[in-house]
Amino acid sequence: MPSVVSAAPLKGYEALQSQAPGKISMQPGETKTVSISFQNIGTTTWTNSGSNFVSIYTYNPKYRSSVFKSSSWMSASQAVKLKQTSVAPKAVGTIELPLTAPKTPGAYVETFHLAAEDKAWIPGGEFTVNITVGSATSTTTSSTTTTTSQYQAEVTSMSEPKITAKGGVSVVYTVTVKNAGKTNWGTHALTPSEVHLATVSASDIQHKSWKSSSTILERATSVAPGSSETLSFAFLTPKYKGSYTLAFDVTVNGENAEGGEIYIPVEVTADAPDVQGTSKTKETTSETKSTTPYTENIVTTEPTMRVGILIVDEETDNEVVISGVTAMRVEDTDGNLLANVDAGEEVTAYYMTDKKKYYYEIDGETRKTSLPIRFVPVEANTVLTITNFDRRVTRGSAYADNQFRNILEIRYNETKDRTWMINELPFSWYSKGSAETSGASHMEFKKALMIAWNTYAYTLATKYTTKHDEEGFIADAYADQVYKGYGNELRTSQGQAVTASLSQAVDETRGIIVTYNGEVAITPYFSRSDGRTRDWSEVWGGDIPWCQGVEVPEDAGKTLWGHGVGMSASGALQMANDGKTYDQILKHFYTGVELQKMWE
């Protein structure tokens, strides 16, 4: 009987482990089943079906891909459901966990956690299995297993444990992968798995951002042993209603990295529009015409933006000083906790190229780490301040603009030999920090501009091979879209009636982007036309069918200010003042487009 650790019940769920698996021995490739029993000491009945079914996930870190995945597991991170149909309070339930040993001998430590699906991690439901494969002489967790293969990887985080969406929609997904071996990675890639994509083909889920049907993305940057790489990519959900597990592999120099398998459960809730009526399912639907100016093509989660906001150089004495309005965690990019910091307490951080280390100072004590440092507020999307950075002092600006919502990260890039401060935050908060317009402009104009802003940012986020890729972020706060963070959010939050706040415009157009023939359409915009916009081909060459020149009577007689392609801000503002709605404005400047709501 293991020692009992008291845990507060969560949403009526609580467990007491009554039988532990202890230690087991296996041979490489062998499959064994271990039994773990839990008493339900909560107030809610456990079930193995329905929306809140009980199962076990990998843990420490959660949602990692386990090297002991058996063919009967639900995914590489979610093993099996509760054995019993239901387990009432005070009764005992059982998990029958099949484990398939990896090929590499060693001593492994595998941790799992009992969970009620989409409801709660069940307090008291964590357990660990100690496994010896072959003849082992040392003990290690699965995240740091010593193997003899040339390349090893560990998937340390995944943006979502499960995707629920309609068929045929684009999903943006992010994983963090660690080089868990002893060999430096050169060219590495993410590919659709040839082995595990059994119920759906790679062509069914291929997104237009993929390099090819067999390669999703490829990077030539070096990843040293122990270092991590964050990979963002897109895929399409399968067209037909049903349950799927999508599988992807991390490869290095064309060879699969052991432990680099990524499994993503996908629940498709309805057939894609282009197959409705010829569905493989028996479900029938009736079409109704939407009264909104957009159609819904929902992706379940709002995308995340990573914005390069500041190069850490002599402007800030080659360091940054960070504080938060709430407490924050100081972590490395593998999620390891480095320190807990109280609200208002300052942390100084910097990177030393000669030492190849990151340093952080708290209360006069200096510590170091090999990985980039992240400053994470305990309350998501609250404000952090770079206290030793003030644009009024160094750039002659009217405002300091040194405050940013959510996470800040200091990251050095060897290729360009410079260190960036990166702001990681949800799309909506990124949009609210936009400095492309004031709070005093007409609401319909602000809506049109924010949709164009979102669409342009979304194309950057889903392109993945960008000019900033090697430096770890998606958009430059000045070179791509002007973003000034929390300060600008406050300055544009004033006004009422038609001059309502920019934040309100962002909220009312949340998740809406511009599409052309069902695909995301890049949406350039500029300050003012001279009575007409330009074809894409006139300015940049090539042909973009939705970026054709159109007449802008509102700008007649004015001087062109900007590149001239896409939406004229001056013309769009006057159209709004004249009573045009945001969808009418966008469809005037971008030929043949539609608006689609992509996330809630």
pLDDT digits (tens, 9 = 90+) for 104-153: 888 888 888 899 988 888 988 888 888 888 854 434 444 333 344 588 88
What CA–CA distance (Å, rounded) separates 1 from 27? Answer: 27
Question: What is residue 289's predicted lDDT score, i.e. its pLDDT?
Answer: 41
Query: Model confidence at 300, in pLDDT bands (50, 70, 90)?
Result: low
Residues whose CB is less than 8 angstroms from the CB of residue 94 and which lie 6 or more positions away in sequence, other chains included:
35, 36, 37, 38, 82, 83, 84
Q: What's the mean pLDDT in 28-48?
A: 87
Q: What's the mean pLDDT in 571-600?
A: 93
Q: What's the mean pLDDT in 221-226?
A: 84
At residue 441, does pLDDT exceed 60? yes
Residues whose CB is less than 8 angstroms from the CB of residue 250 and which lie 6 or more positions away in sequence, other chains included:
153, 155, 177, 188, 189, 190, 256, 257, 260, 261, 262
Residue 108 in contact with residue 146, Cβ under 8 Å? no
Query: Model confidence at 453, in pLDDT bands (50, 70, 90)?
Result: confident
Residues whose CB is less than 8 angstroms from the CB of residue 184 and which lie 6 or more positions away in sequence, other chains included:
222, 223, 224, 225
For each of the domains in the chain, give its residue range(s) and CATH number, in order of start: 15-144 (2.60.40.10), 153-280 (2.60.40.10), 307-317+388-599 (no CATH)
At residue 217, does pLDDT exceed 90? no
| Gap between the terminal Cα atoms of the chain | 46
What CA–CA distance (Å, rounded) separates 259 from 143? Answer: 9
Cβ neighbours around 385 below 10 Å, total: 20
At residue 377, does pLDDT exceed 90? yes
Residues whose CB is less than 8 angstroms from the CB of residue 490 and which lie 6 or more positions away in sequence, other chains included:
none
Pick the closest to residue 593 from 503, 532, 523, 535 (CA basis): 523
Of residues 21 and 133, the one with the higher pLDDT is: 133
What CA–CA distance (Å, rounded) separates 288 from 483? Answer: 39
The tokens for 305 are 């933006």
Q: Left, alpha or beta for 388 (phi > 0: left; psi -120 to 50: alpha)?
A: alpha
Write the pLDDT tens digit of every residue in 562-571: 999 999 999 9
What CA–CA distance (Å, rounded) separates 473 from 407? Answer: 13
At residue 438, does pLDDT exceed 50? yes
Question: What is residue 223's predicted lDDT score, i.e. its pLDDT?
Answer: 87
- Across all residues in the chain, what is the average pLDDT? 83
Query: Model confidence at 439, in pLDDT bands (50, 70, 90)?
Result: low
The tokens for 48 are 């193995």
Query: Model confidence at 299, in pLDDT bands (50, 70, 90)?
Result: low
What CA–CA distance (Å, rounded) separates 300 from 580? Answer: 31
Question: What is residue 358's predicted lDDT score, i.e. its pLDDT?
Answer: 97
Q: What's the mean pLDDT in 445-460?
A: 88
Write the pLDDT tens digit of every residue in 155-211: 877 777 678 888 888 787 878 888 988 889 988 999 987 544 445 678 888 887 788
Question: What is residue 394's predicted lDDT score, i.e. its pLDDT?
Answer: 94
Pick the closest to residue 142 from 195, 81, 101 (CA basis): 101
DSSP element (H, E) containing 428: helix 427-432
Using the structure block, give the residue that is written with the tokens 């293991």.
2
Query: Model confidence at 268, in pLDDT bands (50, 70, 90)?
Result: confident
Q: Which of 69-73, 228-232, 308-312, 392-396 has the lowest mean pLDDT?
A: 228-232
Cβ neighbours around 232 below 10 Å, total: 21
What CA–CA distance (Å, rounded) separates 577 from 511? Answer: 24
At residue 36, does pLDDT exceed 50? yes
What is the model's pTM?
A: 0.59
HSE of 474 in the Cβ direction (CA atoms, 13 Å)?
27
Give the sign of the dihedral formed by CA 451, CA 455, CA 457, CA 458: positive
Q: What's the mean pLDDT in 226-252?
A: 84
Query: Model confidence at 388, in pLDDT bands (50, 70, 90)?
Result: very high
Secondary structure tally for the chain: helices H, strands E: 9, 38
Residue 372 in contact with residue 227, Cβ under 8 Å? no
Query: Model confidence at 440, in pLDDT bands (50, 70, 90)?
Result: low
Q: What's the mean pLDDT in 345-360?
A: 95
Query: Model confidence at 21, in pLDDT bands (50, 70, 90)?
Result: low
Question: What is residue 195's predicted lDDT score, i.e. its pLDDT?
Answer: 47
Which stretches within 252-313 are classed as H helix?
A: none
Using the structure block, give the residue that is written with the tokens 């004229």.
568
Residue 162 in contact with residue 207, Cβ under 8 Å? no
Question: What is residue 20's predicted lDDT score, i.e. its pLDDT?
Answer: 58
